[in-house]
Amino acid sequence: MYDFLTKEMIYQKSSQEITALLYEKCLMNLEESISYIESKEYISANERLQNTNDILQRLGVGINYESGIIADQLDLLYNYMADELVKANRSKDTAKIENVMNILQSIAAAWNEAMKNKPNSKMKSIKHKVNAYEKNVLTEEKIR
């Protein structure tokens, strides 16, 4: 699924879009890990669960704590999910994985909805630069 994502395509994504992709990859890993556990392919399940924990850790590092209480709560959720996945991996407990999936699906859905309703930060930056340029041009024209 992610084979089509080249480095250039990733560099063109906003941090919000990359976060959405990471949520999607986590969910895909969790679905696969459940399938692997059910078919007793424990090494593959272990790899998917470890990869998901790595992603959760990276998501936690990327939190902007200046955002207030929601950032702290998101950090707690990431840590809770990571701990649950370690326990699930040890015991090969698909119910724990499904619980984490439910939490992550809710977060991902909220994240995607927020991205739809909020203008892209890249666009804000571009508009800001254009406005600054236009102000500078207008000022120079008045001087002439």
For the chain, what are the domain ranges?
Answer: 8-118
pLDDT score, position 1: 46
When computed from its CA atoms, the radius of gyration of the chain, rounded to whole angstroms, is 20
CATH architecture of 8-118: Up-down Bundle (1.20)
pLDDT score, position 11: 74
Q: CB-hemisphere CA count at 13 Å for 100?
A: 31
Angle at Cα 110 formed by Cα 1 and Cα 36, nearest 5°? Answer: 40
Q: Identify the helix (H) or strand (E) that includes residue 40.
A: none
Q: What residue type is 64 in one-letter code?
A: N
Q: 25-45 as b/e, with b when 16 or more CB fall inside 10 Å?
A: ebbebbebbbebbeeeeeeeb
Please report, for residues 4, 81, 83, 102, the alpha-carbon distance to residue 99 in angstroms, rounded to integers and kept in the order given: 30, 9, 12, 5
pLDDT score, position 144: 54
Asked if residue 62 has pLDDT above 70, the reply is yes
Q: What residue type is 63 in one-letter code?
A: I
Asked if residue 75 has pLDDT above 90, the reply is yes
The model scores a pTM over 0.95: no
As a whole-number percent, the residues of the chain with pLDDT over 70 amount to 76
Residues 83-121 pLDDT 10s: 999 999 999 999 999 999 999 999 999 999 988 887 655
**What are the CB-based long-range contacts (under 8 Å, 24+) for 57-62?**
57/82, 58/22, 59/19, 59/22, 62/15, 62/19
